[in-house]
Structure 1
């Protein structure tokens, strides 16, 4: 059952990992005077914020009985349906932004900020991690899945750790490139930042359409079994 859980949460982990704004934020931090310290602070905060939300949601799901006779409870199907429909609604909103971009839109305030204190970095990472409708839908879907198909606390912890490792790739990969790619790192990361900035809405629209459809499909499968 642990394998089943991990297999089902992989897409939700990828859904969180594909976070263009978080990618842009950590790449900007890697260009600051205290690049490594700032980026590590951002990455650790991102991971901790996700871990807290997932742990709380898993605990709540377990308390209300996500698993019934080794099968997902009926409410799990309805929850996944709501999550899927919410993701599709956000996808439609992002698609409209991609098709009708605002003229001369200014970068977000945090991208123009030049004062990178530890508190501001922690606040930014937490905001981008959890005050984000796309991430919240995927965190909720992963937590409900882990609670409903993974028996035992140990197996749930393992599944949660696997989810967090995948969900944090958007911040750990740029940091790794900065540390190990040498002189090429700046060129590679700058090109990623520029691409993610230009195509943020399109990426989110496509990603959420896929993930929303998957959640609706999972809901139908749960409710009809």
Structure 2
């Protein structure tokens, strides 16, 4: 479980679309304050998903090879296949020359203008930009968490921190070195604009392959 959560957390934090949106949030007037709202809403999504799963399981993992355990493993394989399919969709989309269409992004059009991002909108963006497929994979993994084990509780906290780490680093950088951070983050946004499709493809494909292979191994073990 710990390895799965760590890999999923890394994929979530490196997913380009929320990173690009967060750079625009930080670049807007009052960006640091809006960045805090973005991060809190982002964390709230992760905590809410984990909390729902824990409420369902009661903090106790299902018995090995039981129906709930098998169902969670099958769900992991299905989500993995979905991520692989989405990676292929993005690859074909680029191949068709449609990668740069504005309508393809989850964020509404006004997010492209830093001046148009309000505090409320900054708090709503994480709901739109959260890579829910990856978060769903984390939710399925949390089914196996035993909250009576301190190590599992720590793993859940670490997952939330890892999945938010890129945003936290950018926020702190903007607080302590705003001019340098603004210059570099603008360059990062421009770089991601050109390379986001290969990054999305790689992250979804690799995580999808891991989930499928690991899920099938657990099902046949």
- Which band: TM-score by shorter chain? 0.7 to 0.9
Q: Specify the alignment match of 1:126 in structure 2.
A: 127
Q: Does 1:44 align with 2:40?
A: yes
The answer to whether the 8 Å contact 2:23/2:189 transfers is yes
TM-score (normalizing by structure 1):
0.84
Task: Decide whether aligned partners of structure 1 residues 31 and 69 sit closer, same or farther in structure 2, where only a CA change above 3 A counts.
Answer: closer
Q: Does 1:112 align with 2:145?
A: no
Q: Does 1:92 align with 2:93?
A: no
Cα deviation for residue 153 of structure 1 reads 6.9
Q: Specify the alignment match of 2:28 in structure 1.
A: 32
Q: Does 1:68 align with 2:68?
A: no
Among 21, 26, 38, the alignment partner of 2:17 is 21
Cα deviation for residue 170 of structure 1 reads 2.9
Q: Deviations over 1:115-158 (max 9, x none)?
A: 332222211122112xxxxx222222222223215352755432
Cα deviation for residue 167 of structure 1 reads 0.6
Q: Specify the alignment match of 2:139 in structure 1.
A: 143
Give the total of aligned pairs: 215
Task: Decide whether aligned partners of structure 1 residues 103 and 202 sit closer, same or farther in structure 2, where only a CA change above 3 A counts.
Answer: closer
Task: Decide whether aligned partners of structure 1 residues 174 and 64 sit closer, same or farther in structure 2, where only a CA change above 3 A counts.
Answer: closer
Aligned equivalents of 2:36, 2:18: Cα separation in 1: 13
Among 5, 8, 26, the alignment partner of 1:12 is 8
Gaps of 5+ in 1: 130-134
Q: Specify the alignment match of 1:132 in structure 2.
A: none
The answer to whether the 8 Å contact 1:80/1:141 transfers is yes
Question: Where in structure 1 do 4 or more consecutive aligned residues deviate above 4 Å?
Answer: 63-66, 69-72, 153-156
Gaps of 5+ in 2: none
Alignment of 1:146-165 (within 5 A): 146-148=142-144, 150=146, 152=148, 155-165=151-161
TM-score (normalizing by structure 2):
0.85
Cα deviation for residue 83 of structure 1 reads 0.9
Counterpart secondary structure, 1:143: helix
Task: Decide whether aligned partners of structure 1 residues 66 and 95 sit closer, same or farther in structure 2, where only a CA change above 3 A counts.
Answer: farther
Task: Decide whether aligned partners of structure 1 residues 150 and 126 sit closer, same or farther in structure 2, where only a CA change above 3 A counts.
Answer: same
* Superposition CA RMSD, Å: 2.6
Q: Does 1:205 align with 2:198?
A: no
